[in-house]
Amino acid sequence: MPLLRSALWLRDKAIDRTRRAFLAVLRAGPIPQHVAFVMDGNRRYARIKGMKVLQGHVDGFVALRRVLEICSTLDIKYVSVYAFAIDNFKRPKEEVDGLMRLAEKALLELCTHGGVLAEHGVRLNTVGKITLFPPEVQVALAKATELTKDNHRAVLNLCMPYSSRDEMTTAVEETIHDALLRGKNEPITEQDIEDHLLTAKVNSPPLDILIRTSGVNRLSDFLLWQCAENTQVHFIDTFWPDIGLLDLLPIILDYQRKIWSY
């Protein structure tokens, strides 16, 4: 038994060292400013493993924490994640209720002492129509936002309940409303609309990298305005709950290669 324990200890140490080496190599090159994730594949992951759907989402939350740790270590300043689409309200009630309970718990865990946002100085910005959420989730979001408001190292744009079309429609409405209030008959510019996007609240730069997991090649109405001429889009086969450093390594290296080749 002590021999087995020593072998496991050595294996864990080797994994940890390799991980640190990968991160150090990546940190030596240019780091993207803004990376976004469509966290897809939680239910298929659960089904394949014979788990309940909700366990897939719980494991998806663990993966979110893992990815945020990696992004913080790499000093990525803005991370945006698609946590709940407006369309997701159409899913079975049991799943939606479970996701709401998970969101409430997860938010406080991320932001309170020992949580990844608190530990790494990350500010939380909710991007979405939060009034569609039940009151308990709205309260948790307000609390989490307040708890992280003085964090300045990085930003997490938590997109929920979100759709790009909804974000853009609201931005156009607010732009027109402001223009009418000013009473000036000036043309509305792209910049005016951009300034009213929910990601503009925290000055999010254009997206450098967009990653969608689970082998699905769709954008699903996510950050369409924020995608820019140079946004690299990566569709990877890994289910979201399984995502890790080995998935991110080739993507960041590819980004660095492109930056160096400009």
* Residue 245: both structure tokens together: 């450093």
Q: If contact means CB under 5 to 8 A according to the sort of partner, which of ligand FPP, Mg ion, none does residue 64 touch? A: ligand FPP
Q: How far apart are the first and last CA of the chain?
A: 55
How many Å apart are CA 65 and CA 210, to the nearest integer?
18
Binder of ligand FPP out of 26, 34, 35, 43 (CB under 6 A): 43
In the complex, the smallest distance separating the C-beta of residue 187 from Mg ion, rounded to whole angstroms, is 40
Q: Is 58 exposed, middle or buried (0-12, 13-18, 19+ CB in 10 A)?
A: middle
77 binds ligand FPP (CB under 6 A): no
DSSP state letters, 140-160: HHHHHHHHHTT--SEEEEEE-
Tokens of 221: 């109405």
State which residue, 240 or 255, has the beta carbon closest to ligand FPP: 240
Whole-angstrom CA distances from 156 to 56, 160, 182 are 22, 12, 33
Can you tell me which of 83, 117, 124, 245 binds ligand FPP, judged by CB under 6 A?
Answer: 83
Residue number, 37 or 255, with CB nearest to Mg ion: 37
Counting every residue written for the chain, the total comes to 262
Q: Choose which of 73, 88, 112, 232 interacts with ligand FPP (CB under 6 A).
A: 88
> In 3-state terms, what secondary structure has residue 79?
strand
Q: How far is the CB of 37 from ligand FPP (least distance, A)?
A: 9
Among 32, 34, 37, 40, which residue interacts with Mg ion (rule: CB under 5 A)?
40
Q: Does 140 bind ligand FPP (CB under 6 A)?
A: no
State the minimum distance, in angstroms, from the CB of residue 89 to ligand FPP: 11
**Which residues of this chain interact with Mg ion, rule CB under 5 A?**
40
**Which residues of this chain interact with ligand FPP, rule CB under 6 A?**
39-44, 57, 60-61, 64, 83-84, 88, 102-103, 106-107, 214, 240
